[in-house]
Amino acid sequence: MSLRSTAKSVLRDLLPPVLLRALRPAPPVASQSPDAQEALSDEFYRTFLPAGSLCFDIGANVGNRLASFRRLGCRVVAAEPQPACQQVLRTRFDSDPLVHLVPSAIGRQPGTAEMQVSDLSVLSSLSPEFIAATTRSGRFAGIRWDQRLTVELTTLDALIAAHGRPHFIKIDVEGYEHEVLLGLSQPVNLVAIEWAPEVSTTTLQCLDHLARLGPVSFNLSWGESMRFARQRWLNHAEITTLINQFSEETYLFADIYIRNQPA
């Protein structure tokens, strides 16, 4: 079987039926009611987050995923550098003894960095490359990043030293994922990063880094579907094939899950 045929076979096996039919991601969670969003998130995370486990929420924004982790009984360390988002997080979680809020961004080493701030706080980014690539593709047509904010940086290793090794790290930092992971020097049970095809090279660097820390397998959740695309977790070659195959399909996005055990 040719490499192209093998790749197509892998991709057919990976894609949910809706994508095979239309090559469009599942409807975003944001289009559903808040109660439906919460129920979908909780149902998904419950499959791999035991009550009492420690989660790191990197890029917590206003705490929607954090809230899901808490409803499931997890302890949470949440890092968010944007002052407006920090205020929302304090309002929602300051009285919760099982939530520790970190008013910093996460990077490869302690220091400071310049964040480009959008009116849509979920799109603020420390990665000029991400902003340039998604602007060129038209993914965020009409979005502007008009403000600049100097933010403090700490590292995943520093958070682990202070709070313990997490069961799960969720990273949603708009293209800065590799810099975040370069500050991690030890394996973690499960990590999730966001993948936009415009920055596939960065995504592959993230996967390579985690693979160097220990044996890993991979899965993904298309769009905001909050479900795994595969029952069988993938090996490094298979997930690389998938990412490369869709590197030009800029209407897609997914969360990639990296589990610290072989496929």
pLDDT at 105 over 70: yes
Q: Using CA atoms, how far apart are residues 109 and 146, in angstroms rounded to an integer?
A: 26
Contact of 191 with 55, CB cutoff 8 Å: no
Q: pLDDT (tens digit, 9 = 90+) per residue, 108-136? A: 999 999 999 999 999 999 999 999 999 99
pLDDT of 31 reads: 57
Q: Amino acid identity, residue 2? A: S
**For residue 263, what pLDDT is reported?**
57
Name the CATH topology of 32-186.
Rossmann fold (3.40.50)
Most confident of 13-22, 29-38, 252-261: 252-261
- What pLDDT shows up at residue 40? 95
Cα-Cα-Cα-Cα torsion 8, 223, 178, 153, nearest 10 degrees, comes to 180
Structure tokens at 99: 């939530």
Closest CA to 8 of 218, 229, 242, 243: 242
Check if the beta carbon of residue 59 is closer than 8 Å to that of residue 173.
yes
The Cα 172–Cα 130 span in angstroms is 13
Average pLDDT over residues 23-33: 50
User: Tell me, what's the pLDDT at 33?
Assistant: 80
Cβ-count burial of 177 within 10 angstroms (0-12 exposed, 13-18 middle, 19+ buried)?
A: buried
CATH 3.40.50 domain position(s) in the chain: 32-186
Question: Buried b vs exposed e over 112-123: b needs ≥16 C-beta within 10 Å?
Answer: ebebbbbeeeeb
Laid out side by side, the sheet with 54-58 consists of: 99-102, 75-79, 54-58, 168-171, 190-195, 254-259, 217-222
Rounded-to-integer distance, Cα 181 and Cα 129, Å: 17
Q: Pick the more confident residue, 90 or 263.
A: 90
State the chain's mean pLDDT as an integer. Answer: 90
Distance CA 16, CA 22 (A): 10
pLDDT computed for residue 35 by the predictor: 86
29 pLDDT more than 50: no
Q: What tens digit of pLDDT does each residue of 241-262 get?
A: 999 999 999 999 999 999 998 6
- 201 pLDDT more than 60: yes
pLDDT tens column, 221-232 = 999 899 999 999
- Please answer whether residues 117 and 124 qualify as being in contact, where contact means their C-beta atoms are separated by less than 8 angstroms: yes
CA distance 201 to 161: 30
pLDDT score recorded for residue 23 = 40
Percent of the chain with pLDDT over 70: 87
Structure confidence at residue 24 as a pLDDT band (50, 70, 90): very low
Element housing 139 (H / E):
none
**What pLDDT is attached to residue 261?**
85
Q: What is the pLDDT of residues 152-173, one digit of tens each?
A: 999 999 999 999 999 999 999 9
Identify the helix (H) or strand (E) that includes residue 148: strand 147-154
* 2: pLDDT strictly greater than 90: no
Mean local confidence (pLDDT), 88-99: 98
pLDDT at 37: 87
Nearest by Cα to 44 from 61, 58, 26, 59: 26
Residue 115 sits at φ, ψ, to 5 deg, of -95, 135
Contact (CB, 8 A) for 184 and 155: yes
- Taking the chain, what is the end-to-end CA distance rounded to the nearest angstrom? 22
Whether the pLDDT of residue 1 is over 70: the answer is no
Q: pLDDT digits over 172-183, tens only? A: 999 999 999 999
